[in-house]
Structure 1
Amino acid sequence: MEQTTNNSQPIKIKLSILITQDGFSFCKGNKDTHTVLDFKHKSFLSKQTPENLLKEIKTILEFSFLKEKETIEELEVFYSNTLYTLVPDAFFSEKNLTDYLKFNTKILATDYVTFDNVESISAKNVYIPYTNINNYLFEIFGEFSFKHISSTLIDLFKKEDLENKVLLNVYSTHFHTIVFKDGKLQLANSFNYQTKEDFIYYLLFVLEQLELDPLNIPVFLSGNIEEEDQNFKILSTYIQHIEFFAEEYSSISLSENLTIDTQRHNLLISQF
């Protein structure tokens, strides 16, 4: 049955899904009223195969979202994995997608390589989405949009009015690092880690290579990290200026009895 507002106009429902190597999140909202209606999240302690992720995603969808599938007008999917690389527009050719990735990513014959247009830095983000998940979602919802999470993060972070800055988008098994120096993107890369020592080592190595002072560079945090976390504690030992990066969502409200960790899931919430 189609959901309607009080004036009998159809409600415009959007479903946003974030798929990471170690979990996923679903956020369903009303685009007209900027209200988050439902939210589900599941994380794992280790990296999962695309097959295991698809199995878990099917379970969440079938129990929580497909009962009212006809009300979902728009589906947007964000992929967060380490299978990507940036190519400046001046050197980009759609014929060479596989070539851009083959030097830092193991590519299988069955992999589908695609790209996002990252307008803020005049570049393309070439990456591998999970084809099995895309195929399943297409069977259920029809056409939908998808992109790599780093594309969105770069565009959002570019707006910050600072010449030198670092963004760490953290998950349980990996994190994305985006670095601007003198107002220009210097690095966008991902690192797998197991311990807090791994976490800080990769960051300090990046800063050293880019000749950025840990005591002066502002480091912004997003994703799966809070002040009580071990990663945050070791980070604060070496980094003096730390802030939590948050896309503005002050106009967005949560439906009654819905509780969400807004810091960790800021990106999905801000889509409404």
Structure 2
Amino acid sequence: MLAALLFFVTSIHGEALPTGTIEGRVINSRTGDYVEKARITVDSGNFETFTDSGGQYRLRNVPSGKLTLRIIFTGQEVQTANVELTAGSTVRRDFELGVAPVKLERFTVTSSKEMEGAAIAINQQRFAPNIVNVVAADEFGSVLENNVGDFLKFLPGLTVDFIGGAARSVSMGGVPSEYVPITVGGFDLSTVSGGGTTRNVDFHTISMNNIARIEALHSPTPESPGSALAGSINMVPRSAFDYSKPVFNYSAFLMMRDNDRHL
């Protein structure tokens, strides 16, 4: 009889709880971009995940029942949503993030393009596993000659080397530029215009046109290359999958000599 009782108790504890899956996508309603690194949590239980570069998230093995989802992203209001999850099912819940205007009598304060870039950078740094500075490409506006080196000089801890007035290489924390790996999307970058046998990357041939943001990693992690003595720099390229609709960006410039404005 004791053995039967133990078998009954073991069977109760061995039964798997009915679970399901919650998935969806997060989009910025103002810009139409998919939101990366947004934090999705479930109020009941220790369940959380982050959205990928396409704004998608997925929570697996969540206990069934009535649940409350909470989404957190830097610079945006915290949003909550109620979902009802049944055992073995998959529930889809999409979110649209946006900053509501703040009304001060007759004035309306809204976010700008530069603030959108700042929010992305702050959110990336907030959830990074190491010490990293992340700067969106549109945060400082137009860059001289559209050169990556002229953009990096704004980041703390970096020293840009100039040759003939043009930014050519960068050092980090006093470490020479040949020991600061430069990657694009995580892949090593090399240039031939610098000459010599060093690992220097010449910024004179790299444009900011296709760069979404730049990450300066100041504390190497186990997967970092051996040459990253003080850190490395990763340039994240733009992708059509980052946007929910077609986007066309252009710039127009006009140059004049003194006060002579005749074409």
TM range (shorter): under 0.3
Q: TM-score, normalised by structure 2?
A: 0.24
Q: TM-score, normalised by structure 1?
A: 0.24
Higher relative contact order, structure no. (Cα contacts within 8 Å, ≥ 6 residues apart): 1
| Richer in helix (by share) | 1
- Rg: which structure is higher? 2
